[in-house]
Amino acid sequence: MSTLLVVGGVAAGMSAASKAKRLDPSLNVIALEKSPYVSYGACGMPYNLLRPDDPMESMVVITPEQFRTKRGIDARTNMEVLEIDAYNHTVKAKNLVSGELSTFQWDSLVYSTGAHSIKPAWPGIELEGVLTLRDLVDGKAVKDYLARKAPKRAAIIGGGYIGLEMADVFTELGIEVTVIEKLPSIMPGWEPEIVKPVHVALEKGGVILLEGVTVTGFEGSNGQVKAVLTDGPTIPTDVVLVAIGVRPTVDLAVNAGIKLGPTGAVAVDREMRTNIPGIWAAGDCAEQWHRVLQRPAYVPLGTNANKQGRIAGENAVGGHVAWEGMIGTSVFKTLGADAARTGIGRAEAKDAGIDVAVSMIDAFDQAHGMPGRKPMRVILISRKDNGQLLGAQLVGAGVAKRVDILATAIWAEMTVKDVGNLDLAYAPPFSPVWDPVIVAANIAEKDVDPNGLECRFCK
Amino acid sequence: MSTLLVVGGVAAGMSAASKAKRLDPSLNVIALEKSPYVSYGACGMPYNLLRPDDPMESMVVITPEQFRTKRGIDARTNMEVLEIDAYNHTVKAKNLVSGELSTFQWDSLVYSTGAHSIKPAWPGIELEGVLTLRDLVDGKAVKDYLARKAPKRAAIIGGGYIGLEMADVFTELGIEVTVIEKLPSIMPGWEPEIVKPVHVALEKGGVILLEGVTVTGFEGSNGQVKAVLTDGPTIPTDVVLVAIGVRPTVDLAVNAGIKLGPTGAVAVDREMRTNIPGIWAAGDCAEQWHRVLQRPAYVPLGTNANKQGRIAGENAVGGHVAWEGMIGTSVFKTLGADAARTGIGRAEAKDAGIDVAVSMIDAFDQAHGMPGRKPMRVILISRKDNGQLLGAQLVGAGVAKRVDILATAIWAEMTVKDVGNLDLAYAPPFSPVWDPVIVAANIAEKDVDPNGLECRFCK
């Protein structure tokens, strides 16, 4: 019997394990996960915090027991892999509960260790109340802290999507929020026309934004965090969330001789193969193939992890499926100003040497006359030479699935003219008769005069 | 100075007038509209009924005065066109307010008379309280009737989308609703798997559904409708809405020698040209080019009317723009069971001699663990030979813009495999990590076992 060993059992790892076992029921599939949990929806943790009576463990989609009994997968938690021996095809692991050491033989291996929060060695980082929110253990710690300490003020370090989702959640919990971003603006990598309405919505919602401010450490009292120290003001707080990004977890891979790509994540081809025969990698520890840029990038998202995992699983049992790649489609919710993006932005286009046109529309999510309609902004980024749509960013109401229209159009290599011709659904509660997506495409095609359009976000 | 005469000034007509004038500012553009209103959002009328203090006239997007002063278009209301003389290039019209008759000369003409409600010669059809909801005059009459009579019970004849939108609105207004459909099922033309959940939602919402029941007339007292007579039960009621569909308004066209297509609507080519040089037609009076079936069809929707109007306007001033067509994308809201469709269904595929595969998924609109998530059903219809996506129907929460993902995919001639690979946006409040659209495509690709999926609508 052949053995597939999966190192890391969250999204990518358990997708790989499930796919492989389904394709080859005779396969012995072992998944080793360092934490006490496999297969959970980490992205749902911020929203779980809003429900005090719903334990964080409810984020678990499938338990190790269910993997064993229903899917025939030997999923083991609290198992830290210490070494991957690529030559002898073994893995050494330690049971973190019993301390027991074991060695596993494998025929194929999927490396899916994920990523970990960046937590600099700031003085005071060890104080109680300085938290991160990456895995389920983090999520439990945050929830427990909120229950025990009932903080009144929170400082969030980092104005990316996790930071802003958490600003939303803390605000909803009645906690005063300060967001500290080192860069000149929150939402690095987003177009300024999209950032501005989010900025306005956050401040309107009572969130204090400190941009261009560098954290230098923390002040505490009796081991408990009391303030964030910066190169600017000192921010008194009852809890700190460090959300300045993640790094791929690659130590084991590097020690095993698995090569990293230029992004610092594990280099994989489109079949999720690493440089070592018999070892695949998938998920947040690995690079992702960017379909628009036609090169690897590092976009650690759950959607990509699940897809990469399935492909790794299929190929680990002899398949030859190539990933069609991703285009960086994502969305997040923050204080009524949802923001969504797909494809590339101005900066990425410039880096790639592509000359682009940018068109923008301020519109509403519902039809004329609907009293509850809310503003929305759409930006399209298209090739100047042939009009091919390369990117889109949206902010406001109703953007979450509208971005998918544009993601589909980018996927199909449509031009803005094509998008302007699309037959999209219309009923007054759901859309204006000309969907904002179509109007934005018509503007790009110079088919509409943008000066005639009211700026919904300018007030 | 050259004159463009527009006969009928709602969606298609005023789009044509505006586009033509913008492209050729020297053009004399006259639009004659029989009713007192031009350019209004008729689709919004059901929702206006929910707001007693908001006059139905607020559905007007641009007034005749604004057309004159801001766009330089001579828009005239209450002007009934009596005759189009295609040989002498004249139009005879009557001012319905003053009775004055006038004759207009034209160089080009856009025929955009729209459609009218079908209202059979049932005995009692003239009784007060037997209403339709097609144009703004109808809308005002319905609103006025509701205000004056405060009906407690409504009978809706016709279980199509207008009937079901109005069932929703009447229910929200606290009016008891009975829907009478002559055919064996409401929502003719929709797939039964989509109709069923709507059926359940309507009955759960207290709407009485009488299917396979034929109306024979009305009973009244003092000129006021009191009951609907059928081949089955007699239904006591305080108001009747006749919503059994529309017919294209073609009398003037036929008299002018303009040819109709097999659907009974004005035959147009993809440049919106009729058989008579110098006469274009657009909107609900005309046929629409079906991109999937590659033939004309009759799908009178506001989205199509606006697009056809713009193309007619551009071509009437010398352009040669061909419409890319439509694929029948639409959505409607009814008692929490929104239903959306795009492309073709089983029956249309059969008629066209195309062998199709059907895949179905019951899923949720939000991620695992989100307590407010609601069920959704997605059906995909694809070519059996090559997997090309030809149609999709959805019901439940979050379907309105999700159908647009599939409309875009159909437009781009993607296969279900392509759809299964799409990079769509994910965050727990907006979608499961595998969007239902992707799962449905994976099922079509036999990449997921549908038997393993729970039926959300079966309970």
Q: pLDDT by residue for chain A (459 residues), tens digit each?
A: 899 999 999 999 999 999 999 999 999 999 999 999 998 889 999 999 999 999 999 999 899 999 999 999 999 999 999 999 999 999 999 999 999 999 999 999 999 999 999 999 999 999 999 999 999 999 999 999 999 999 999 999 999 999 999 999 999 999 999 999 999 999 999 999 999 999 999 999 999 999 999 999 999 999 999 999 999 999 999 999 999 999 999 999 999 999 999 999 999 999 999 999 999 999 999 999 999 999 999 999 999 999 999 999 999 999 999 999 999 999 999 998 999 999 999 999 999 999 999 999 999 999 988 989 999 999 999 999 999 999 999 999 999 999 999 999 999 999 999 999 999 999 999 999 999 999 999 988 765 544 444 444 443
**H or E segment to which residue B222 belongs:** none
- Provide the b/e sequence for A315-328 (b: ≥16 CB within 10 Å): bbbebeeebbbbbb
- Provide the b/e sequence for B169-196 (b: ≥16 CB within 10 Å): bbbeeebbbbbbbbeeebbeebbebbbb
Distance CA A79, CA A100 (A): 9
Strands in B129-263 per DSSP E: 130-131, 153-157, 176-181, 208-211, 215-221, 224-230, 235-236, 239-242, 246-248
Residues of A in contact with B301 (CB under 8 A): 426
Cα B248 versus chain centre, distance: 13
Residues of B in contact with A434 (CB under 8 A): 303, 306
Distance CA B181, CA B241 (A): 12
Q: What is the mean pLDDT of chain B?
A: 95
Which residues lie closer than 8 Å to A299 by C-beta, 6 or more apart? A288, A290, A326, A328
Distance CA B13, CA B427 (A): 42
Chain A nearest CA to B290, separation (Å): 11
Q: How confident is the model at residue B447 (pLDDT cuts 50, 70, 90)?
A: low
Assigned token pair, A157: 């370090």
pLDDT of residue A447: 54
As a whole number of Å, the CA-based R_g of chain A is 23
pLDDT of residue B448: 52
pLDDT of residue B67: 96
Strand order in the sheet with B389-396: B330-332, B339-343, B389-396, B375-383, B356-364
Question: Quick check: B434 and A330 CB within 8 A?
Answer: no
Q: Identify whether the C-beta of residue B187 lies closer than 8 Å to the C-beta of residue B386.
A: no
Amino acid at B407: A
pLDDT of residue B35: 95
pLDDT of residue A164: 98
Q: Identify whether the C-beta of residue B93 lies closer than 8 Å to the C-beta of residue B32.
A: yes
Query: Residue B405 is nearest to which of A331, A404, A426, comparing CB atoms?
Result: A404
The number of residues in chain B equals 459
Q: Identify whether the C-beta of residue A107 lies closer than 8 Å to the C-beta of residue A3.
A: yes
- The residues of B that are catalytic are 43
How are beta strands B79-85 and A389-396 bridged, if at all?
unpaired
Chain B nearest CA to A215, separation (Å): 28
- Provide the b/e sequence for B277-312 (b: ≥16 CB within 10 Å): eebbbbbbbbbbbbbbbeebbbbbbbbbbbbbbbbb
ipTM of the complex as predicted: 0.95
Query: Residue B58 is nearest to which of A340, A369, A401, comparing CB atoms?
Result: A369
Q: Identify whether the C-beta of residue A372 lies closer than 8 Å to the C-beta of residue A366.
A: yes
Residues of B in contact with A331 (CB under 8 A): 425-427, 430
pLDDT of residue A225: 98
Q: Identify whether the C-beta of residue B272 lies closer than 8 Å to the C-beta of residue B266.
A: no
Question: Quick check: B41 and A367 CB within 8 A?
Answer: yes
Cα A195 versus chain centre, distance: 18
Strands in A165-238 per DSSP E: 176-181, 208-211, 215-221, 224-230, 235-236
Question: Quick check: B412 and A407 CB within 8 A?
Answer: no
| pLDDT tens per residue, range B306-360 | 999 999 999 999 999 999 999 999 999 999 899 999 999 999 999 999 999 999 9
CA angle B64, B68, B70 (to 5 degrees): 110
Q: How far is CA A394 from CA A190, B53, B247, B426, B434, in A?
A: 10, 33, 39, 14, 21
Query: Residue A47 is nearest to which of B43, B402, B429, comparing CB atoms?
Result: B429
- Class of residue A304 by CB neighbours under 10 A (exposed 0-12, middle 13-18, buried 19+): buried
Q: Identify whether the C-beta of residue A215 lies closer than 8 Å to the C-beta of residue A225.
A: no
- State which residue of chain A sits closest to B44, comparing Cα positions: A428
Q: How confident is the model at residue B1 (pLDDT cuts 50, 70, 90)?
A: confident
Query: Residue B324 is nearest to which of A332, A421, A428, comparing CB atoms?
Result: A421
Residues of A in contact with B332 (CB under 8 A): 427
- State which residue of chain A sits closest to B417, comparing Cα positions: A324
Distance CA B17, CA B29 (A): 6
